[in-house]
Amino acid sequence: MNTDDVVLPPAYWNADATVATLRVTVTNTGGRAERISLGYTLPPGLTDAGTPGCEPSGGGNHRCVGWDAEPGARFSATIRVRVDGDAWRTMPLAGSVQVTAVAPGVTGAAYDDEGFAVLFPPGPPVPGISLRADEVLFDISGAPSTLTVRLGNTGKVDAAGRIEVLLPEGVTVAGTESGCAPVSADRTRCELGTLAAGRTATARLTLAASAEAQRRAPLSGAVIGRLDPRSGRDRQVQMSFRISAAAADAVPPGGAPAPTGSQGVLVAAGERDGDDTSVRGTAVALIAVSGLLVVLALTLATRSLRRRSDITVPERPITDR
């Protein structure tokens, strides 16, 4: 299963609520026909906007009508969600999608669970300030990665700059530049000093993620940018950023024995073990036969040489000259 993110347009800041879509793609990677069922969990501030065949089951959870899928079949589903106009106040937000597959006559089920991020554009719009946070990607090694944040002073007067980074569960700050310090377990504040009008400051934080957090990726974090001029009102804007991990795609989903693609690999592996034993036996037999052929050839060559040595060469008669 693969999930896209819920990406909100800039028009979100001018509406009481915004309807967005979450696209989910499911593939039957097994060798049997399967009955597939889908469910999803929405974070606070998001509600279902009328997805056909799906209904709430309590606690932000939803269940959808199942369908039959032949081996190799691929399906895409679009989940409609409504994002409240005040949902940005509790960012970062993320949800998850669950899929379960059952094959007739097979005990157990195969399942997958993947997260999705809710990505807000920079805002609410405030003149004189800009904010940008890049995506964070953890490679297959799971090593720490870097978050880059840029805070710009687009106003006409100098202002003191500050950012705060909010992280989801399982993601922590492993290292920062000078001027950054933790405010709480999930929040880090960086003082950027005075930003002259028209200038942009860049902050880089090294993030680490637990194995469980990487498995649940993609996730989302949030950044709050603030400018405090010597005179006039403070300016503040915030946005969310995506946290993805290669391990989320590289690690096969776990579960009870079922007709999944991973189980097919295990069956094939067992067959390969038997084939390897057969191949090794055949190789040994071929080596033995080759050795016998070599011995036989040497024996025949030796006998041939002996026969040649036993032949008497007739003497030439001596004639008087």
Query: Which residue type, as a one-letter code, is found at position 204?
Result: R
Tokens 């189980």 sit at which residue? 263
Q: How far is CA 98 from CA 132, 139, 243, in A?
A: 31, 24, 19
Using the predicted structure, report yes or no on whether residue 211 has a pLDDT greater than 50.
Answer: yes
115 and 14 share a domain? yes
Domain that holds residue 287: 260-294
Q: pLDDT exceeding 90 applies to what percent of the chain?
A: 63
In a domain, 307, yes or no: no
In a domain, 94, yes or no: yes
**What's the confidence (pLDDT) of residue 198?**
94
In a domain, 285, yes or no: yes
In a domain, 149, yes or no: yes
144 and 247 share a domain? yes
Residue 78 near residue 21, CB atoms below 8 Å: yes
245 and 143 share a domain? yes
Q: Which residue has the higher pLDDT, 119 or 291?
A: 119
Using the predicted structure, report yes or no on whether residue 63 has a pLDDT greater than 80.
Answer: yes
In a domain, 147, yes or no: yes
Distance CA 187, CA 173 (A): 9
CATH classification at residue 131? 2.60.40.1530
Three-class DSSP category at 189:
strand
Q: What is the pLDDT of residues 219-237, one digit of tens each?
A: 999 999 999 998 888 999 9
Average pLDDT score over the chain: 82
Using the predicted structure, report yes or no on whether residue 183 has a pLDDT greater than 90.
Answer: yes
Residue 285, token pair as written in the block: 């037999």
Q: What is the pLDDT of residues 13-39, one digit of tens each?
A: 999 999 999 999 999 988 889 999 999
92 and 129 share a domain? no
CATH classification at residue 69? 2.60.40.10
The partner residues of 81 in beta bridges, in order of sequence, read: 20, 48
232 and 265 share a domain? no
Which of 225, 12, 239, 9 is CA-nearest to residue 129? 225
In a domain, 284, yes or no: yes
Residue 121, token pair as written in the block: 């554009």
Q: Which residue has the higher pLDDT, 269 or 96?
A: 96
Contacts of 48 (CB under 8 A, 6+ apart): 42, 54, 56, 62, 79, 80, 81, 82
**Would you give the distance in Å from CA 213 to the centre of its chain?**
11
CA atoms within 13 A on the CB side of 120: 31
186 and 264 share a domain? no
Cβ neighbours of 94 (radius 10 Å): 26
Distance CA 200, CA 217 (A): 30
Domain boundary among 120, 151, 176: 120
In a domain, 204, yes or no: yes
Three-class DSSP category at 70:
coil
161 and 54 share a domain? no
271 and 244 share a domain? no
24 and 79 share a domain? yes
142 and 200 share a domain? yes
152 and 114 share a domain? no
Q: What is the pLDDT of residues 266-282, one digit of tens each?
A: 222 333 344 444 434 44
Which of 250, 243, 87 is CA-nearest to residue 170? 243
**What's the confidence (pLDDT) of residue 266?**
24
Global pTM exceeds 0.75: no
Distance CA 164, CA 185 (A): 12
Q: How far is CA 183 from CA 208, 237, 283, 304, in A?
A: 17, 19, 67, 96
145 and 253 share a domain? yes
Cα-based angle 303, 304, 309 (whole degrees, multiple of 5) = 95
pLDDT band at 298, cuts 50/70/90?
Answer: low
In the chain, the number of structural domains is 3
Helices (H) and strands (E) in the chain, counts: 3, 21
Domain boundary among 258, 280, 308: 258
In a domain, 12, yes or no: yes
